[in-house]
Amino acid sequence: MSEVIATNQTILVVGGGIAGMTAALEAAECGKQVILVEKNPSVGGRVGQLYKYFPKLCHPKCGLEINLRRMKANRNLRLLTMTEVTAVTGEAGNYQVSLRTQPRYVTENCTACGECARAVEAEFDNEHNFGLGKRKGAYLPYSLAYPMRYVLDPRIIGTDDATRAKEACKYDAIDLDMQPQETQITVGAIIWATGWRPYDAARIQPYGYDRFANVITSVEFERMADPHGPTGGKLLRPSDGKEAKNVAFIQCAGSRDRNHLKHCSRICCMATLKQTTYLRDKYGDDFKASVYYIDIRAIDRIDDFYQKVRADENVSFIKSKVASITEDRETGNPVLNGVDTEGYHRYSNPHDLVVLAIGMEPSVPAGEFPVDVVLNEEGFVQQDEANGAFFAAGCSSDALDVNRAVQNATASALRAIQVVNRVAGTEV
Amino acid sequence: MSDYNQQMIEQFRGNFLKEVESNVEEGEWVKMCMQCGVCSGSCPFGPHWAHPPQEIFMMIREGEREQVLTSDSMWMCTSCYNCIVRCPRGLPITHIMHGLATYAKRLGLAPKEQPTAKFAQLFWDNLTKTGRVNELKLGLALYFMNGFSEGIKTSLKMKDIGLGMWKTKRLNPMEMVGGHSCKDTKGLQAILAKAQEIEDAKIGRSGA
């Protein structure tokens, strides 16, 4: 890796999801020097894992592609993948940041031909698909990965698989001797865009995510709907691979709950409404979706979308927080038990598949930040003067949808630009 | 209907939620309920009671005073705490149900023939006599709770268990006469009398 040159007029962006990419690009396109670090082998983050966006139901890959083009075209932006921030010291306008880059074992010679993946035998859970399905020990993170380079799983290093991968490569792009690399840089401002992760569904004990095969999360359902996903776009029950046509969606799974996440995760209602349209797309009139909810929080312009789904006769809305899920042993059907609020009817409804509209929590838990930072009760980074020139962007600042995350990231870019302008003495 | 009941009706003039907030233990939590229904669905009593907690809370807000206070629902609660554990807003639902039962009893509105309410009274009367629960007497009182002939029938049915308990020294037939007691029964009764006096003064029931 060539040397990273950074000064106190450089902006560091941590996290290469949609918010981090946006913040980095906005700042770089304003002429600022930007370093974007991403922990994973590819940028794209959670957006790269989505099948469609609400409410327009367009494909996220399209928006990502535009950003990737902007990145390729910009000389002010330096991307470091497989890199994490390990320590931050200093103050606004002058931070010393330690970075650790994990070895990819694949150099820039890689043409993404895929010969190494064919040669390697070992398989691991596919992180991009939330562990649904497997990928090889030498792999491309996903079809739109950027940089478009393969990566070797560290678990195959030192095995015959690693040697096989190296021998298969026609471009001499595999370097098995790569070591983790420590880098120290100086930057003027930090944009923290580490994003979110789905709440651990197994902790919602009564829903039995860890006990019942046919209880899955909304992010897993999203991957299933994707033609590039683990099931090739088919909505299949994990227990027996049958098509799921009678699907229940449970809202506020982990959100708005003092036992789990106190906050409303904001995206889950819309995610569910969107996912009911996947069922209609796949099966026409031959499906049933049941949405169990406390209240549907589709706000502003997305209320129109809600009304559209509401008008779909195959989608029913049951106002009730499901109390527990049991399983019909014979059929493998999850059975939802509870009492509805509109009439207090007790129900025990079997479904083919249950999708938990899982809540959003910050990727970096409180106590694991490399620097002192003011967090709110829910663990999101607060807008606070005590944070100096450490600005949160996207879902590290709050539970946001893509639209709001991008707006928020642009605002953070502006805040960071103000800091480096002050350092440069060019502030007007 | 007690004077106290009449007094409360006049004091709160149809604002039953406020009445619950002021007079029922943990009653101030009722307005925090967001009607998700997880408590009702989690109750092991399932369909066997008139109004699940979620519905009781809505009825309180609606001001359905008499229906709530004469309901048998809060007497059906077994204190399993499933509802508290699962409530997304952390409402102390079990405690509110017990608070409502206590309040209904205080007002003289508790259902008269409700078995748990009846048992609670039997238990209390038994316990306060000597400061110790006399299990033999309590058990028999329970058998005869619903009439003499049913009492004889139940007693005969349970006779072998009773004898077995006697043999293994788990039950002393001498408990029928007097029975064991705490060290200072008189002192305990004085405490209870004082507590009753404070309670009566609080609800304005002088000389009761």
The verdict on A252 touching B (C-beta cutoff 8 Å) is: yes
Residue A205 lies in a domain: yes
Longest dimension (CA), chain A: 73
Of the residues B32, B33, B35, B36, the best mutation for testing chain A's interface (the one with the most A CB atoms within 10 Å of its CB) is B36
Residue B208 is predicted with a pLDDT of 39
Residue A350 lies in a domain: yes
Residue A107 lies in a domain: no
Could you tell me the CA-to-CA distances from A257 to A290, A385, B61 in Å, in that order? Answer: 21, 30, 22
Query: How many structural domains does chain A have?
Result: 3
Contact B37 A206 (CB under 8 A): no
B88 contacts in chain A (CB < 8 Å): 252, 256-259, 321
Q: Is the pLDDT of residue A146 over 80?
A: yes
d(CA A51, CA A61): 8
3-class DSSP state for residue A223? helix
d(CA A206, CA A223): 24
Q: Angle, to 10 degrees, between the axis of helix A18-29 and the axis of helix A60-73?
A: 30
Same domain, A288 and A313: yes
The closest CB to that of B52, out of A252, A294, A344, belongs to A344
CATH of the domain at A372: 3.50.50.60
Residue B176 is predicted with a pLDDT of 86
d(CA A151, CA A134): 15
d(CA A401, CA A395): 8
pLDDT digits (tens, 9 = 90+) for A21-78: 999 999 999 999 999 999 999 999 999 999 999 888 999 988 899 999 999 999 999 9
Contact A339 B86 (CB under 8 A): no
Calculate how close chain A gets to B90, using CA atoms only, in Å.
6
The verdict on A264 touching B (C-beta cutoff 8 Å) is: no
Residue B202 is predicted with a pLDDT of 78
Q: What's the rounded mean pLDDT across residues A231-250?
A: 96
Q: Which two tokens stand for residue A256?
A: 């708005």
Paired strand residues for A246 = A288
Same domain, A135 and A215: no
Q: What's the rounded mean pLDDT across residues B53-73?
A: 95
Q: What's the rounded mean pLDDT across residues A328-349?
A: 95
The closest CB to that of A323, out of B34, B42, B90, belongs to B42
Domain end marker among A359, A375, A391: A359
Instruction: Report DSSP state, residue A266.
Output: S
Calculate how close chain B gets to A150, using CA atoms only, in Å.
44
Residue B206 is predicted with a pLDDT of 47
Instruction: Report DSSP state, residue A153.
Output: -
Of the CA atoms within 13 Å of residue B106, those in its CB half-sphere come to: 20
Angle at A51 between CA A45 and CA A53, to 5 degrees: 85
Residue A189 is predicted with a pLDDT of 97
Q: Tell me which residue of A74, A90, A188 sits closest to A418, measured CA to CA.
A: A188
Q: Is the pLDDT of residue A290 over 60?
A: yes
The closest CB to that of A321, out of B38, B47, B52, belongs to B38
Contact A206 B47 (CB under 8 A): no
The residue of chain B nearest to residue A344, with distances taken between CA atoms, is B55
Contact B54 A339 (CB under 8 A): yes
d(CA A146, CA A79): 10
Same domain, A219 and A323: yes
Q: Is the pLDDT of residue A331 over 50?
A: yes
pLDDT digits (tens, 9 = 90+) for A69-119: 999 999 999 999 999 999 999 999 999 999 999 999 999 999 999 999 999
A185 in Cβ contact with A9 (< 8 Å): no
Residue A408 lies in domain: 10-102+180-195+363-424
The domains of chain B, with CATH numbers, are: 3-111 (1.10.1060), 115-199 (no CATH)
Calculate how close chain B gets to A322, using CA atoms only, in Å.
6
Domain end marker among A330, A359, A388: A359
Q: Which of residues 191-230 of A touch B (CB under 8 A)?
A: 206
Rounded to the nearest integer, the mean pLDDT of chain A is 95
Token look-up 């699907």 returns: A247
Q: What's the rounded mean pLDDT across residues A203-228?
A: 97
B61 contacts in chain A (CB < 8 Å): none
Q: What's the rounded mean pLDDT across residues A286-293?
A: 98
Q: Is the pLDDT of residue B204 over 90?
A: no
Same domain, A265 and A329: yes
A322 contacts in chain B (CB < 8 Å): 38, 41
The sign one gets for the Cα dihedral A217, A221, A222, A228 is positive
Phi, psi of A198 (to 5 degrees): -65, 140
Domain end marker among A334, A359, A384: A359
Rounded to the nearest integer, the mean pLDDT of chain B is 91
Same domain, A223 and A311: yes
Residue B146 is predicted with a pLDDT of 84
Q: How many CB atoms lie within 10 A of CB A278?
A: 22
Token look-up 């897993």 returns: A220
A113 in Cβ contact with A200 (< 8 Å): no
DSSP A105-125: SB-TT-----HHHHH---EEE
Q: Determine the length of chain A.
A: 428
Pairing of strands A134-136, A123-125: antiparallel
A391 in Cβ contact with A191 (< 8 Å): yes
Calculate how close chain B gets to A324, using CA atoms only, in Å.
7
Confidence of residue B47 (pLDDT cuts 50, 70, 90): confident
Q: Which two tokens stand for residue A386?
A: 């005590």
Same domain, A92 and A126: no
Same domain, A402 and A337: no
Confidence of residue B2 (pLDDT cuts 50, 70, 90): confident
Which helix or strand (DSSP H or E) is residue B9 part of? helix B3-12
d(CA A405, CA B51): 44
The verdict on A85 touching B (C-beta cutoff 8 Å) is: no
Same domain, A27 and A85: yes
The closest CB to that of B47, out of A252, A321, A346, belongs to A346
Residue A3 lies in a domain: no
Residue B207 is predicted with a pLDDT of 42
Contact A321 B89 (CB under 8 A): no
d(CA B33, CA B84): 12
DSSP B95-117: HHHHHHHHHHHHHT-S-TT-HHH
The closest CB to that of A346, out of B36, B38, B46, belongs to B46
Q: What's the rounded mean pLDDT across residues A297-304?
A: 84
Same domain, A243 and A371: no
Residue A65 lies in a domain: yes
The residue of chain B nearest to residue A294, with distances taken between CA atoms, is B36
Residue A185 lies in a domain: yes
Q: What's the rounded mean pLDDT across residues B26-44?
A: 95
Confidence of residue B203 (pLDDT cuts 50, 70, 90): confident
The residue of chain A nearest to residue B42, with distances taken between CA atoms, is A323
Calculate how close chain A gets to B45, using CA atoms only, in Å.
12
d(CA B99, CA A109): 74
Q: Tell me which residue of A406, A402, A53, A17 sits closest to A226, measured CA to CA.
A: A53
Confidence of residue A428 (pLDDT cuts 50, 70, 90): low
The closest CB to that of B52, out of A257, A337, A339, belongs to A339
d(CA A200, CA B203): 50
A157 in Cβ contact with A105 (< 8 Å): yes
Same domain, A237 and A125: no
Same domain, A386 and A262: no
Which helix or strand (DSSP H or E) is residue A183 part of? strand A181-187
A350 in Cβ contact with A324 (< 8 Å): no
The residue of chain B nearest to residue A292, with distances taken between CA atoms, is B36
Paired strand residues for A381 = A375
Confidence of residue B205 (pLDDT cuts 50, 70, 90): low
The closest CB to that of B55, out of A252, A320, A344, belongs to A344
Phi, psi of B203 (to 5 degrees): -100, 10
pLDDT digits (tens, 9 = 90+) for A354-371: 999 999 999 999 999 999
The verdict on A256 touching B (C-beta cutoff 8 Å) is: yes
Q: Is the pLDDT of residue A424 over 90?
A: no
Contact B40 A344 (CB under 8 A): yes
Contact B42 A346 (CB under 8 A): no
Same domain, A205 and A296: yes
- Strand ordering across the sheet containing A353-358: A215-217, A353-358, A246-253, A288-293, A315-319
3-class DSSP state for residue A364? coil
Angle at A25 between CA A20 and CA A31, to 5 degrees: 135
Residue type at A87? A
The residue of chain A nearest to residue B33, with distances taken between CA atoms, is A294
The closest CB to that of B37, out of A257, A321, A324, belongs to A321
Pairing of strands A246-253, A353-358: parallel
B89 contacts in chain A (CB < 8 Å): 258
The residue of chain B nearest to residue A322, with distances taken between CA atoms, is B38
A206 contacts in chain B (CB < 8 Å): 42, 86
d(CA A120, CA A303): 49
Paired strand residues for A98 = A87, A184
Q: CA A123 from chain center: how many Å?
A: 22
User: In chain B, which residues touch A (CB < 8 A)?
Assistant: 34-42, 46-47, 51-52, 54-55, 85-90
pLDDT digits (tens, 9 = 90+) for B154-193: 999 999 999 999 999 888 888 888 788 999 999 999 999 9
pLDDT digits (tens, 9 = 90+) for A189-206: 999 999 999 999 999 999
Calculate how close chain A gets to B54, using CA atoms only, in Å.
8
Residue A255 lies in a domain: yes
Q: Does residue B145 or residue B90 have the better pLDDT?
A: B90
Of the residues A204, A318, A339, the best mutation for testing chain B's interface (the one with the most B CB atoms within 10 Å of its CB) is A339
Residue B65 is predicted with a pLDDT of 96
Q: Is the pLDDT of residue A229 over 90?
A: yes
A9 in Cβ contact with A423 (< 8 Å): yes
Instruction: Report DSSP state, residue A361.
Output: E
